[in-house]
């Protein structure tokens, strides 16, 4: 199986995040996550790990607002240049727009920070932009691989992306996410055929929902903890099914607290029925391993064997498939969980 990975992710290492209730804690989304996954992948000689190609900004701008990307590129340098006595290790906003149309983009850095950064778990540091671009290129390289693999009827690839992406909307970062890697890859593949983006991360893919909500070129499905009790709270409800041209092209499957393997797999069967009825040419998976029952940020109870069966059921669709790494914060278990999920996607190649 082809895996795309970049060491550039190490440049993004926020020293803290502001957790629920305002507690300043060590960032859960740390570089060690990738080292644990890499160690597990390298123990299995069926994985070929390669660096990504550079696709430029065009496929990223196809899903993200240009002014947001400009902010992401320059924000930390602007923060360093500000004439203040604030701590300069990471940029986070203190003020956010009211609900409804956000109106004008403020001229000040902190005003733009609140405009483009919608929570306190996506701090910007010196290497954030470079790492986010590299992650997007990993996803695009994986997409290109499955699109070009004519030697294999059912090719698959894994984009080992960090930072993750599915909370990043068209014009915002949030929840450890800055560029929506899976959405960028799905948008690129949509030029070549029908695409389904299936999100299995514990948290609702609110950024993906935002990007594709009024688009009919990608069917987006998300299985996640009910936002009534879990982040991101305001997106991921069952009645949010798209709008305009995208009406009917989005489906959320919110899960109750404590969901176990059997209940999760039953919900997955419903999503698989939607995928089969859509007859896609490509499948992109936002593969979050925070569904694992011992994840510190999760409150459903999926076992490693359950994760393995999730992979098996998705792989049985026999579609060209790109899996994109999202969440998963139990570092001791993360590598083994990723390998359990990917096991069924191994394809024999000449």
Catalytic residue positions, numbered = 167
Distance CA 94, CA 72 (A): 17
Can you read off the two tokens belonging to residue 200?
A: 């299995």
Using CA atoms, how far residue 286 sits from 27, 78, 159, 212, 283, in Å, is 21, 32, 10, 14, 10
Distance CA 226, CA 241 (A): 15
Interaxial angle between packed helices 304-315 and 331-342, expressed in degrees from 0 to 180 and rounded to the nearest 10: 30
Burial string for 241-273 (b: 16+ CB within 10 Å, else e) reads ebeeebeebbbbbbbeeebebebbbebbeebbe
Distance CA 198, CA 208 (A): 10
What is the β-pairing status of strands 321-325 and 156-159?
Answer: parallel
Distance of alpha carbon 142 from its chain centroid, rounded?
14
Can you read off the two tokens belonging to residue 350?
A: 């000449």
């Amino acid at each position: 199986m082809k895996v795309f990975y970049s060491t550039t992710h190490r440049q993004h290492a926020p020293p803290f995040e502001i957790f629920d209730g305002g507690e300043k804690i060590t960032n859960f989304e740390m570089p060690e996550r990738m080292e644990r996954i890499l160690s597990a992948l390298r123990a299995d000689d069926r994985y070929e790990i390669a660096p990504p190609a550079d696709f430029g900004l065009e496929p990223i701008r196809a899903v993200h607002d240009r002014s947001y990307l400009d902010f992401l590129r320059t924000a930390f340098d602007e923060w360093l240049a500000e004439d203040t006595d604030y701590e300069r290790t990471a940029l986070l906003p203190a003020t956010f727009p009211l609900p409804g149309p956000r109106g004008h983009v403020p001229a000040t850095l902190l005003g733009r920070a609140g405009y483009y950064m919608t929570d306190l778990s996506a701090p910007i540091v010196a290497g954030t932009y470079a790492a986010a671009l590299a992650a997007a290129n990993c996803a695009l390289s994986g997409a290109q691989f499955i699109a070009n693999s004519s030697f294999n009827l059912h090719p698959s690839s894994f984009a080992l992306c960090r930072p993750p992406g599915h909370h990043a909307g068209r014009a915002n970062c949030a929840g450890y996410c800055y560029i929506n890697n899976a959405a960028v890859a799905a948008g690129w593949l949509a030029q070549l055929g029908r695409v389904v983006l299936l999100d299995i991360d514990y948290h609702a893919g609110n950024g993906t929902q935002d990007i594709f909500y009024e688009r009919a070129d990608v069917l987006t499905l998300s299985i996640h903890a009910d936002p009534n009790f879990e982040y991101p709270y305001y997106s991921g409800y069952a009645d949010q099914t798209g709008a305009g041209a995208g009406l009917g092209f989005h489906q959320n499957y919110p899960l109750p607290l404590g969901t176990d393997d059997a209940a999760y797999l039953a919900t997955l069967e419903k999503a698989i029925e939607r995928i089969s009825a859509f007859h896609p040419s490509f499948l992109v998976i936002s593969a979050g391993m925070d569904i694992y029952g011992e994840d510190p940020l999760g409150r459903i109870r999926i076992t490693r064997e359950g994760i393995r069966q999730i992979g098996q059921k998705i792989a049985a669709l026999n579609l060209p498939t790109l899996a994109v790494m999202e969440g998963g914060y139990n570092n001791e278990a993360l590598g083994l969980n990723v390998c359990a999920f990917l096991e069924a996607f191994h394809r024999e190649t000449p």
